[in-house]
Chain A
Amino acid sequence: MKYILMCLSVVGLIGCANVQKKDMSAFTAAAPRSILVVPVANKTLDVDAPIFVLTTLPIPLANKGYYVFPVNTTKYILEQEGLYEGDRILSMPVPTLAKMFGADAILYVTINRWDAQYAFIATTVTVEFDYKLVSADGTVIWNENKKMVYSPQNNAGGGLGGLIAAAISAAITRAAPNYMPLAQSAHQQVFLMGPNQLPDGPYLTPAK
C-alpha cells in the first residue's frame, strides 16, 4: 500500500511540476507577459491544416497564464498587410512584427506531418509540429517538437498513452480522420507538461 502511494505521488509530481528542467535562462531574461500566435506555417499538402491548428493554440497558452493576442484578429491584420501565409510570416523580421503588435514574444508553429495512412484494418493518423517561441528582439527563448501518432492497434499498450489514445479514438473514424484531438493533445503536452514545459505566465503567478 505504501508502495502504491509513493508511486502515485511521484506520478502526481511529474504531472504538474518539472523534475529536470531545461535551461530556461533566455526565457527568464525575456519574461514575456504576452504571446503573439502568428498564422501557422505548413510543410504538408493539407491546405486547411494551418488554420485548423491556429484555433487550437490560444486556449492552452492563456491557461498557462499569458496574454494571448486574438488569433483571428492577428490573421486579419496580417492579411490586410498582404501577408497570407505562415511561411511568409516566418521570413519577416521578428522585431518588426513584435513592434507592430506590441508583443513580448511570438510563437511560430510549423506543421511537419498531418496525414492519415489507410491500411486494410486500421488507419494511422499522424501529426507533428515544431514550436518556436521568440522574444521581441529575435532571441529564441523556447522550442519544442512534438509528434503524435494515433493507431487503433496502440490501444493494447495500456497505461497513460493507452488512456489518451482511447479518449481520442472516439473522435477518429476511418471515414473522416479527425486530427483536432491529436493536435490539442500535442499542444497540451508541450506547453503544460514535461521537463520543457513553458514557465507559468504572469496571470498564473501571483503579482509581486
Chain B
Amino acid sequence: MRLYTVIAALALLGLTGCAQNKYNWNGYDKGLYEAYKDPNQIVALQIKLQETVDALEKEKQVVPPGLYAELGTLYLQEGNVEKAKIYYAKERDAWPESKTLMNVLIKNLDNRKKVLEKSKS
C-alpha cells in the first residue's frame, strides 16, 4: 500500500513536471473565462493583459503567443484603433507565424480609416 502511494505521488510529480508552463500567462485563461461569463469583466481582462505584457517586456521575458493580439483586439473593440495596431504589430514581430493575419488586420484598419476620412471630406 505504501509502495502504491509512493508511485502515485511520483507519477503526479511527473505529471506536473510535464504540464509545466512554458510561458508566464499570468491568469490569461481565467481572465478570459471571467470575461465570457460576465461581460463587465472585459475591462478587468484588458487591464490584466496590459499589466502582463508591460511586466514581461520590462523583465525582457517572452510574451506568450497571442497575448499581444488579444490585447489589441480588446482595444479595437472599444474603438482605439491606434492602440490595436500597435499591439497587432508587436504580435507580428514577436511571432512570425502570426505575420499573415496581423498584416491583414493592420491593413484593414488602415483602409477603414481612409474610407472614414474620405467620407468626411
Contact = CB atoms under 8 A, between A and B. Distances in A.
A114 to B, nearest CB: 15
A69 B98 contact: yes
Contact-size category for A: 35 or more
A22 B25 CA distance: 31
A104 B7 CA distance: 39
A58 B17 CA distance: 19
Contacts of B72: 73
A160 B18 contact: no
A76 interface: yes
Interface string B76-107: 11000000000000010001011111000100
Nearest to A203: B22
A16 B19 contact: no
Contacts of A158: 4, 8
Interface string A1-15: 000100110011001
Nearest to A188: B19
Contacts of A51: 36
A102 interface: yes
A101 B100 contact: yes
A73 B23 contact: no
Contacts of B28: 58-59
A26 interface: no
B29 interface: yes
Interface string B1-40: 0011011111110110111111101001110110011000
A151 interface: no
Contacts of A101: 100-101
Contacts of B77: 76
Contact of B14 (A16, A54, A59, A164): A16
B33 A52 contact: yes
Interface in A45-70: 48, 51-52, 54-56, 58-60, 62-63, 65-70
Given A34-B97, A104-B97, A68 B65 contact: yes
A83 B114 CA distance: 26
Given A55-B33, A70-B70, A193-B18, A102 B99 contact: yes
Contacts of B99: 102
A63 B36 contact: no
B52 interface: no
Interface string A33-45: 1100000000000
B97 A33 contact: yes
22 contacts: A12-B14, A16-B17, A48-B37, A52-B36, A55-B33, A58-B28, A58-B29, A58-B65, A59-B29, A62-B22, A63-B21, A67-B65, A68-B65, A69-B69, A70-B65, A70-B67, A72-B32, A101-B101, A102-B99, A159-B4, A163-B9, A163-B12
Given A73-B66, A159-B4, 9 more contacts: A34-B97, A55-B36, A58-B66, A59-B28, A60-B19, A63-B20, A63-B22, A67-B65, A159-B8
